[in-house]
A and B are shown apart, each in its own frame.
Chain A
């Protein structure tokens, strides 16, 4: 018996078509070798929300009965390969389908493979990825993370490169020739096939040993049962909140104890408290009430609530006062204002370096990307 399961972890809406192309191509390629397969998105994740981590699966088997064995659980309990198409999710994911943080490699089988598209190096990613009791292989596809919208698809060959890499790291699935044939039949051009072949040729792995990686225990919540749950579908509201950190000055709203937005973000705002003019716009416009008002009347983005949408950056009238920066540059969710209070020169240095790096990398996220097409088209026409 041989069944192979592959999951694609992606950011809802922004990477949906990418994930769908990958799982469907896996089934098509398997079909070339006489195998049977199925491709599906996890219903619990849908309807997808912008940027919220979601999953799609491809399961391939030798025959229908074997396939049924795997699908007796709708969502596979373990997968041979996990494909993560946004490296910031290496820190773990919380989707619509469950409460609490799930390590990116939670379903990856012992000696399975985690494929990540990233510009980071292996050591930097391993630092984010939660430890496992068993070894697994990490395969990095050097690439800018591919984002697009719900109705548009940025065909930057990320799908082809992932599929080529997959053929290399998981040879029991199918040959690269079958994959190229499947891609060809789906109407992909020669350059895309070449991208798949090249990714296959250059793919490398780095084994991650047991105990190596992020030692954080992922947060989780106990779900109520029918005897402890409130009747009548009632959910108690959050309290109004009070002074900043429980003091008399400033303000911070009470926040939900079982719903945190850490893994929703692929970027987060960093704030230059020294140029802030206290106009209140970020605080007013933030759809998630994420800004705490500090005793000195500044606005501190609280990472428990920030979903990374970038509205604060868009409405801020002061240049570079709020800048969206890749989530990959952070290892915790601590307060920026507190860091600034503690050591202002160091904070300014750290913050300026991050902002400069962001400008150099031009990392985008879906929200930015939706509005970014006009500029991109203009740029390409100029060139």
Chain B
């Protein structure tokens, strides 16, 4: 069991002008993370740069290991976590994919590693801009997945991540997804809490009887066959079920201690009351969509927005309740899934599945937008809403998935 130190840097609450990545690096210092591993790939590397700076300045003491590849990077934190160290790591795009073997075993071994994914398009072509496919690739593996929208949220959710992941009833890894560029390279005013507040919220990581230690001789990760595996999978499934309650409780405490947060940890609702059309999306897409929604509302149009924050565990009940009240749902995917049902995106496919059991099902249309870091403008949102509005009026969906903002020549 590790102890949490009180860092002199965080005696009083203060404001910093920092990026989402830098906010997460500060969260690492606040949470007194023991082992951090790094391997450079943009946009994730903005985190490791700031962690190095904090360490070099003497503001933060941790084992900071720059590995020789992403695979080792994720292997090291996995092992560190098994001996009871609080850990942090991260990557982007194909770097995240290079670590994939380590990523799957981390979840399989129920190790509460926290990772930041600086969302980046997958190669080829080499591109730096945001797409959500990198982080989404772990959706089936037992990683909790969260998409943040602001630098403040990045700091807050990183703290929540250790709290939930390290809960003995959960013990699952947690990925904090940050849109490349929009979050990783933009500096905003962030309220940095005190060590005292964080220590109150975040107990030390205690792996208990699962800790690998000479005084607690155990073997981890034996080879198994069909006689064992299914029960193990079922345990992980149950842990993910249990995480829902843990997240709710932790978030309530978070709001109490830090004095900020949304009503729900899972989704953010924006002007959804009596909405005819609800736009659904993740991450920094919220910015142009909220502006578009405000303008629609000013013009008397009932358009709302729901930002899906947790993708795993998927907020099924919340979304069923919100979305069955409207006439049509406009899902914006910053990802692609070639050959998926209706050629739709990942979020769309999941959402449609979540709404299938409902008695009153809204029309559902999908828009693939903002790939590779392309901006989604207010005008793009207007175009989507126009298409959805037409479907409501005619009752006919001409095309379920439409690419927006792509050069069609």
**Residue numbers in B under 8 Å from A72 (CB-CB):** 287-288, 291-292, 377-378
**Residue numbers in A under 8 Å from B17 (CB-CB):** 24, 27-28, 39
Q: Flag if B291 contacts A43 (CB, 8 Å).
A: no
**Residue numbers in B under 8 Å from A47 (CB-CB):** 42
Number of interface residues of A (CB under 8 A): 28
A377 at the interface (CB under 8 A from B): no
**Residue numbers in A under 8 Å from B129 (CB-CB):** 43
Q: A39-B17, A71-B287, A224-B407 are in contact. Are A46 and B187 (CB under 8 A)?
A: no
Q: Flag if B409 contacts A224 (CB, 8 Å).
A: yes
A225 at the interface (CB under 8 A from B): yes
Output the least CB separation between A61 and chain B (Å).
11
Q: A24-B17, A43-B128 are in contact. Are A223 and B185 (CB under 8 A)?
A: no
A233–B42 CA distance with the chains assembled, in angstroms: 22
Select the residue from A46, A72, A73 with max chain B CB neighbours within 10 A. A72
Size class of the contact patch on chain B: 20 to 34
Interface CB pairs A-B, < 8 A, 17:
A24-B187, A31-B189, A36-B189, A37-B189, A38-B186, A40-B186, A43-B128, A46-B42, A47-B42, A68-B290, A69-B291, A71-B287, A72-B378, A73-B288, A223-B407, A228-B409, A233-B124
A272–B407 CA distance with the chains assembled, in angstroms: 48
Name B128's contact: one of A27, A37, A46 (CB within 8 Å). Answer: A46
Output the least CB separation between B265 and chain A (Å).
21
CB-based nearest A residue for B19? A40
A68–B291 CA distance with the chains assembled, in angstroms: 7
Q: Flag if A227 contacts B378 (CB, 8 Å).
A: no
B205 at the interface (CB under 8 A from A): no
Select the residue from B15, B187, B377 with max chain A CB neighbours within 10 A. B187
**Residue numbers in A under 8 Å from B181 (CB-CB):** 43, 74
A41 at the interface (CB under 8 A from B): yes
> What is the 8 Å Cβ interface bit string for chain A, positions 53-81, against chain B (1 contact, 0 not)?
00000000000000011011111000000
7 closest A-B pairs (Cβ-Cβ)? A225-B409, A43-B181, A225-B407, A40-B186, A72-B291, A72-B288, A39-B187
Q: Flag if A74 contacts B408 (CB, 8 Å).
A: no
Q: Flag if B125 contacts A43 (CB, 8 Å).
A: no
Binding site for B on A (CB under 8 A): 24, 27-28, 31, 36-41, 43-44, 46-47, 68-69, 71-75, 223-228, 233
Select the residue from B182, B373, B377, B407 with max chain A CB neighbours within 10 A. B407
CB-based nearest A residue for B42? A47
CB-based nearest A residue for B189? A36
**Residue numbers in A under 8 Å from B125 (CB-CB):** 233
A sample of 18 more A-B contacts (CB under 8 A), given A72-B378, A224-B407, is A27-B17, A31-B15, A38-B188, A39-B187, A43-B43, A43-B129, A46-B185, A47-B42, A68-B287, A72-B287, A73-B377, A74-B181, A225-B406, A226-B406, A227-B408, A227-B409, A233-B124, A233-B125
B269 at the interface (CB under 8 A from A): no
CB-based nearest B residue for A37? B189
**Residue numbers in B under 8 Å from A69 (CB-CB):** 291
CB-based nearest B residue for A27? B17
Q: Flag if B409 contacts A74 (CB, 8 Å).
A: no
CB-based nearest B residue for A77? B377
Q: A43-B181, A47-B42, A72-B378 are in contact. Are A27 and B189 (CB under 8 A)?
A: yes
Output the least CB separation between B261 and chain A (Å).
16
A223–B15 CA distance with the chains assembled, in angstroms: 43
CB-based nearest A residue for B373? A43
**Residue numbers in A under 8 Å from B182 (CB-CB):** 74
B180 at the interface (CB under 8 A from A): yes
CB-based nearest A residue for B151? A38
A36–B191 CA distance with the chains assembled, in angstroms: 13
**Residue numbers in B under 8 Å from A68 (CB-CB):** 287, 290-291
**Residue numbers in A under 8 Å from B42 (CB-CB):** 46-47
**Residue numbers in B under 8 Å from A28 (CB-CB):** 17
Q: Flag if B187 contacts A38 (CB, 8 Å).
A: yes
A37–B256 CA distance with the chains assembled, in angstroms: 27
A24–B15 CA distance with the chains assembled, in angstroms: 13
CB-based nearest A residue for B130? A43
Q: A31-B15, A73-B377, A233-B124 are in contact. Are A40 and B187 (CB under 8 A)?
A: yes
